[in-house]
Amino acid sequence: MFKLKLPTDPRWANIAEGNIEEILTDHAWCEQKAATNAIGLITMLPEYPEIVTELLAIAQEELEHFRQVHEIIKKRGYTFGRTRKDDYVNELVNFIQKGGNRDDLIVDKMLFAAMIEARSCERFKVLTENIKDEELKTFYRELMISEANHYTTFIGFARQLGDEQKVNARWEEWLEYEAKVIQSYGKGETIHG
């Protein structure tokens, strides 16, 4: 569905399961950042009320996911750590086109969001298929579906706001770039690590 060029090695799930407390904290902050990103996009698109409505729903859903992860952390007696720097996401930020016109920037920010949702969905699938913790298997299966829907929404907005052929070509560039970036990851106790 996402056409990711480099799938996550399933052994990453073993790394993640080795420190669930760290994965959950990192995941919670990823959800908070996703909500913040959706709100940031809203500020760029006031003239599109339908898109604003959808982005509000995504922001609320991401905050709900943040709450759910936080509740799991509390229930298990873990410590909710401080926000983490997400090197993977920061590398993707560098690929957003600079300069150009406002519409191109908005389209690229939609593709950026779609890319993160696609990889997050793929990581949740790896967790669902490879960890032993039944509660988290069920939880990540539900989130996997949500992330897939967000991916579809963001890429759909990009195609709605830009020339579809140009958007599709740019998405291919994003896929190629992300494949190079993700080669450095998959060994850490973070959602994108």
* Structure confidence at residue 189 (pLDDT): 82
4 domain residue, yes or no: no
188 domain residue, yes or no: no
Average pLDDT of the residues in 157-183: 96
3 domain residue, yes or no: no
CA distances for 141 relative to 75, 138, 150, angstroms: 20, 5, 15
User: What backbone torsions phi and psi does residue 178 show, to the nearest 5 degrees?
Assistant: -65, -35
Nearest CA-CA partner of 170 in 117, 87, 102, 114: 114
34 domain residue, yes or no: yes
Instruction: Estimate to the nearest angstrom the gap between the alpha carbon of 2 and the chain centroid.
Output: 12
pLDDT tens digits along 35-60 = 999 999 999 999 999 999 999 999 99
Identify the domain containing residue 19 by its residue range: 10-183
141 domain residue, yes or no: yes
Average pLDDT of the residues in 75-98: 94
Say what the pTM is: 0.95
The count of structural domains within the chain is 1
* Structure confidence at residue 1 (pLDDT): 58
Give 142 or 187, the one with higher predicted confidence: 142
- The answer to which of 62-71, 123-132, 178-187 has the lowest mean pLDDT is 178-187
127 domain residue, yes or no: yes
* Structure confidence at residue 188 (pLDDT): 83
3-class SS letters over 73-108: HHHCCCCCCCCCCCHHHHHHHCCCCCCCCHHHHHHH
129 domain residue, yes or no: yes
CATH of residue 164's domain is 1.20.1260.10
